Structures are given as C-alpha cells and as structure tokens.
Amino acid sequence: MSPRAAELPSPPVASTPPEASAAALSTRGAVAFVSPALLLIGVFLVFPALWTLYLGITDYRLTGLQAANPQVIGLDNFTSALGDPAFANSLWVTVLYVLGSAVVGQMGLGFALAWVFRRWRGPARSALEVLVITAWIIPSSVVAFLWIAFLDTHHGTLNVALGNADIPWLFSWPLLSIIVFNTWRGTAFSMLLFGGALNTVPPSYLETARLAGASSWQQLRDIVLPSIRGHILTNLLLISLWTFNDFSPYLITAGGPNFATDTLPIYIFRNALVNFQLGYGAAISAILLLINLGIALIYLRLLRART
C-alpha cells in the first residue's frame, strides 16, 4: 500500500498506556471535558440508584400504611430473599440465560460474523449484515410479536420450516427459546464492535504475517486477539450486564411456563410492581447490583492481569 517500498511496518508491540503522556491534555481541560457527563450521570443515574438501595432496607409499599411512612427494617428483605426458592430459581435461570445468550451466543456469533466480514465485500455480505442489524434495531415490542409468531406451535415459521413439526417451543423448551431469541436479538452489537475493533488492527501487521506464511487461524490467535483484547473484555462486560438486566423475555414468556424463564428482572418486576412490595423489589435490585459488581470485578482483573 505504501509507496515507500523500503518502509517496514513497526513490530506489533503492545500499545503504550494512554497515561504515558498526560501533557497532551491539561488537567483543567480534562475536568471541563468530563464535567457535563458526570453531572448528568450523577443526578439522573447515581442518585436514583442510591435511593433504590435505601428503599431496599425499608418496608416501602405502594399502598397502605407503609406507603405514607416507610420504616427502615434493615436486612430483613435480604434474608427473606435468600431464603426464597423462587429467588434461587431466578438466579440460576438468569445465569444460564447470560452464559447461553450473551457469552456464547452473541459474542461467539458476533465475532464469527465480524471475522467473516473483514475481507468479504459484495451484496451478499451487505444483505447478511443488514439482516443481523435489523434484528437488533427492530423495537422490543415488535420483536416480541415476531418471536411469538415465529415459535407458534401450529402456524409458526420455525415449525413450518421443520415440516409442520408442531413443537410447542415456548412450552417445551422455554429457556432455550429465549436464549436463542436473545442471541438473534443482540448479536449485532458484538458484530459491530468487533468489526470496528478488527479495523483498528493495522493491516500491515496482518500483511507481514501473511507474507511470513501464517494461516488465518495463526493470524487470529497471535495478532488479532491480543491486539483487540480490550475490546473483547469490554464487549463481554457490556453484553453480560445488559443481558443480566434484560426485561424483554417478559414480553414473550412472562417468566413462564412455571417460572422456567423467570429471570431476575422479571422476578423484581413481579414483586415490586405486581405485588407492590417496593422495598423487597429494591433489595433484590441491590443483590443484582452486587452480582453485576462481581462480574465487573472479574473482568477488571482479567483486563489488568494481561496488560
């Protein structure tokens, strides 16, 4: 590509940490750049979140005496949650949902697509890319209808495609159904992020590797994956958190049948907004927050461990 044939690509060393030259941006400039975002986040995100945590230690309800004058009841909400088999079931369902649909489904398929797309041009590629992104862009309420229709026992496209199999997917395989659904729904984000990430890998590195006889697999393992490690972990963290807190299965299965798809957000919704136990619901939210914190800390460790 370069007109200067003698120019050698620089070796693929790890990029220098951004902190290395703080001089490019003055501290005052940095504060000015960060303040608007922090102000918005502080008022409309952190403050309500802390308020939720406070509600978790109260017996706040929407109706009755506790609505007017909620009492602090300490950790009672937490102990009753941890003793509730329905909560344990929700937690397990949520873990399977996240592992199956986010980590394996979205991440695996998203990377595979980005990798296949990296040098493939043409109408077929564009069509496939548009399909994947359309699945991600169609609004949730419409998507819920599409999947209810798609998985319908008698008329559903899936059963028709399988030769009128008449399998009641949402009844016999409810968790698998929403895992596949969420993979379909969210793969585009990973695909786009990995697509952008793969483009930040300097083509000269790959060119050099190719000239040295490295196979696609070797290029992937030795050059691409190390240089987009940060993107991979960021993506993993984001999609795990989003899937953990995803409410959209409710629109398809409402948590059923028999709580087989009762993920934690649905459990919270049922307790806080159907049964009006806002304090109890907030306590579960706090537990969800702690689980998310655990996930984030694991990723943070991974990110640090190899930097």
Residues 6+ apart with CB under 8 A from 62: 276, 278
| Closest approach of other proteins to the CB of residue 258, in Å | 22
Residues 56/74, Cβ–Cβ less than 8 Å: no
| Token couple for 85 | 């088999």
| Closest approach of other proteins to the CB of residue 134, in Å | 5
134 vs 172, which CB is nearer to other proteins? 134
Question: Distance from CA of residue 78 to its chain's centroid?
Answer: 26
Residues 61/73, Cβ–Cβ less than 8 Å: no
Compute the distance between CA of residue 235 and CA of residue 188 in angstroms, rounded to an integer. 12
| Closest approach of other proteins to the CB of residue 90, in Å | 14
Query: What residue ranges in the chain does DSSP mark as E strands?
Result: none
Question: Distance from CA of residue 22 to its chain's centroid?
Answer: 32
| Closest approach of other proteins to the CB of residue 252, in Å | 11
260 vs 285, which CB is nearer to other proteins? 285
Helix (H) or strand (E) holding 298: helix 278-305
Sign of CA dihedral 267, 269, 272, 274: negative
Residues 257/173, Cβ–Cβ less than 8 Å: no
Q: What is the CA radius of gyration of the chain?
A: 24
| Closest approach of other proteins to the CB of residue 276, in Å | 11
| Token couple for 19 | 């902190």
| Closest approach of other proteins to the CB of residue 203, in Å | 6
